[in-house]
């Protein structure tokens, strides 16, 4: 269309100014404004569709909604033979990580009046009783000894002089007048008291000289035990215990021979450690176990760098301290110094029991009926009635008299499970995750702490990928589940003795 150029009153402009505009310019601005509105409407429509699609996806794929089984739902099941097996704990026992260490530890503290001259060993060295570890600097001690001997001679001379003075005063007193007798008596008493004071200083100086001579003679410090040098603290910048504020020992030697197990507890699970309670120690390599007895928690020696953070109920974090405890072993055969193990209270879970015994939390009891969620021969979930026998209150297990066989597979009961749901065997279908159904032991897997992210409120272009920090903080879009770094990026899991230990590595499916 032709463009008309003229003067138009732009009433919307401040002051109603008259502005000369080209008609084409007006049309161009109008079309631009309409295009912007159109784009905004398209974006709003896309967001609305995404929300609806998400709701449909959640409704279709979540378990437990609607009636009847969902053939697309998957319920992971575990082997009854594994769940009822021996040596895997009772499912309710706290487990603690521990390390094998010597029965005796010798810690050497440096006296404040001594200085180290030379260190003759280093960390990791094996030493025998009598081997030289380090030497003290004797130069200052020798100077102090010489001065102390001079002081001792001076005191002896002063005592002799005071005694001669007393003899002289007594002679003068004998020839003095009655009025002067009191004055002489006072001088004699004062001199005798001076002798007693100097004799006391003389004995103190003799003791000081004896200590200095002994220190010089023992300037070489030798090991009291056969063992291994665990640590050598810095002289210039000694390490300080972050919990107590006191300096760490100058040198620590671990004795070789008898072993014990050292573990740590924090303020939250300290009540689980009971002095005198029998303990089972599990190897982290195979099924080997050892027996021992729990000792009390050592509250006087909080662990160095033992402060840890835990989540509180209000969503914040609080500090918690770690404290050591020890397990005295019945026998240390097969254990190595520094070996890492697991420990749990001995409630008789390793003792063989006749029949099939299943943890009570797998069993659902309604009135007079008891059932478990079991997989059928066609790998579908069903309610399987079971007959219960005795109940072991210590282990929280029921004896199963009828209804289950060792070759069956069952799931942990959940409200979302429905009859007809697909059953997936953990041992076959999820080898990377391990037998998660057999974790038990009331144990929380140990995760490496995720880095603290700095979520941003700024808009991010669609093409930009969220950073690792944003993913950890939950500020980023989860994106495509199959994409690298998305929801399918999982942590490697190692299952040892029924205990899940999570590593650092990320594994992409």
Report mean pLDDT in 10-residue bins for the chain, 509 residues.
47 44 57 65 66 53 47 82 59 73 85 88 92 92 93 94 93 88 92 94 94 89 90 83 76 85 84 85 88 84 58 54 87 85 78 79 90 94 93 84 92 92 73 38 37 37 39 36 35 36 35
Collapse the DSSP code of 68 into the 3-class scheme (helix H, G, I; strand E, B; otherwise coil) and give the result: coil
Q: Which two tokens stand for residue 147?
A: 């001065």
Element (H, E) at 292: strand 289-294
Do the Cβ atoms of 117 and 390 come closer than 8 Å? no
Q: Looking at the whole model, is its pTM more than 0.85?
A: no
* Closest-CA residue to 438 (of 79, 75, 97): 79
Instruction: For Cα atoms 390, 395, 397, give the angle at the middle one, nearest 5 degrees.
Output: 40
Helix (H) or strand (E) holding 506: strand 499-507
Side-chain half-sphere of 79: how many Cα atoms within 13 Å?
Answer: 11
Of 298, 399, 405, 291, nearest to 345 (Cα)? 291
Write down the residue that tokens 């990320």 correspond to: 506
Three-class SS state of 198: helix
pLDDT at 178: 86
| 3-class secondary-structure state, position 240 | strand
Q: Is the dihedral of CA 119, 120, 124, 129 positive or negative?
A: negative
Contact (CB, 8 A) for 8 and 19:
yes
Place of tokens 């019945």: 330
Eight-class DSSP state of 377: T
> φ, ψ for residue 226 (rounded to 5)?
-80, 130
Q: What is the CA radius of gyration of the chain?
A: 41
- Tell me, what's the pLDDT at 426? 80
Euclidean distance between CA atoms 501 and 498, whole angstroms = 10
Report the C-alpha gap between 14 and 272 in whole angstroms: 78
Beta pairing class for 74-79 and 409-411: antiparallel
């Amino acid at each position: 269309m032709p463009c008309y150029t003229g003067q138009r009153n732009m009433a919307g402009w401040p002051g109603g100014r008259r502005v000369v505009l080209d008609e084409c310019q007006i049309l161009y601005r109008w079309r631009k404004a309409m295009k912007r509105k159109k784009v905004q409407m398209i974006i709003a429509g896309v967001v609305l569709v995404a929300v609806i699609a998400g709701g449909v996806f959640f409704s279709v794929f979540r378990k437990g909604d609607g009636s009847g089984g969902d053939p697309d739902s998957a319920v992971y099941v575990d082997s009854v033979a594994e769940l009822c097996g021996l040596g895997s704990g009772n499912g309710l026992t706290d487990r603690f990580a521990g390390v094998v260490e010597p029965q005796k530890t010798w810690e050497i503290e440096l006296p404040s009046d001594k200085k180290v001259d030379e260190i003759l060993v280093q960390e990791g060295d094996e030493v025998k009783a009598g081997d030289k570890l380090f030497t003290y600097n004797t130069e200052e001690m020798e100077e102090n000894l010489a001065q102390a001997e001079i002081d001792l001679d001076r005191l002896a001379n002063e005592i002799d002089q005071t005694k001669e003075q007393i003899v002289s005063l007594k002679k003068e007193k004998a020839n003095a007048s009655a009025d002067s007798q009191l004055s002489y008596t006072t001088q004699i008493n004062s001199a005798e008291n001076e002798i007693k004071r100097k004799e006391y200083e003389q004995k103190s100086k003799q003791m000081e000289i004896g200590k200095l001579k002994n220190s010089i003679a023992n300037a070489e410090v030798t090991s009291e035990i056969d063992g291994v040098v665990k640590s050598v603290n810095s002289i210039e910048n000694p390490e300080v215990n972050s919990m107590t504020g006191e300096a760490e020992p100058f040198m620590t030697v671990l004795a070789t021979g008898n072993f014990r197990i050292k573990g740590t507890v924090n303020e939250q699970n300290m009540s689980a450690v009971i002095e005198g309670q029998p303990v089972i120690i599990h190897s982290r390599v195979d099924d080997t176990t050892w027996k021992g007895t729990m000792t009390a928690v050592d509250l006087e020696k909080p662990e160095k760098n033992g402060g840890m953070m835990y989540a509180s109920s209000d969503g914040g974090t609080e500090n918690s301290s770690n404290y050591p405890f020890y397990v005295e072993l019945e026998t240390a055969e097969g254990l190595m110094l520094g070996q890492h193990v697991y420990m749990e209270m001995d409630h008789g879970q390793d003792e063989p029991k006749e029949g099939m015994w299943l943890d009570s939390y797998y069993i659902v009891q309604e009135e007079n009926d008891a059932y478990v969620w079991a997989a059928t021969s066609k790998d579908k979930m069903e309610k399987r009635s079971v007959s219960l026998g005795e109940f072991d209150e210590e282990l929280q297990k029921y004896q199963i008299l009828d209804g289950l066989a060792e070759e069956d597979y069952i799931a942990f009961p959940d409200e979302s499970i429905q009859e007809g749901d697909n059953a997936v065997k953990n041992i076959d279908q999820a080898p990377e995750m391990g037998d998660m159904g057999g974790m038990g032991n009331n144990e929380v897997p140990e995760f490496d702490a995720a880095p603290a992210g700095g979520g941003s409120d700024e808009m991010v272009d669609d093409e930009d990928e969220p950073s690792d920090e944003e993913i950890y903080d939950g500020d980023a879009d989860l994106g495509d589940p199959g994409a690298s770094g998305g929801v399918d990026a999982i942590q490697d899991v190692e299952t040892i003795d029924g205990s899940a230990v999570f590593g650092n590595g990320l594994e992409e499916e």
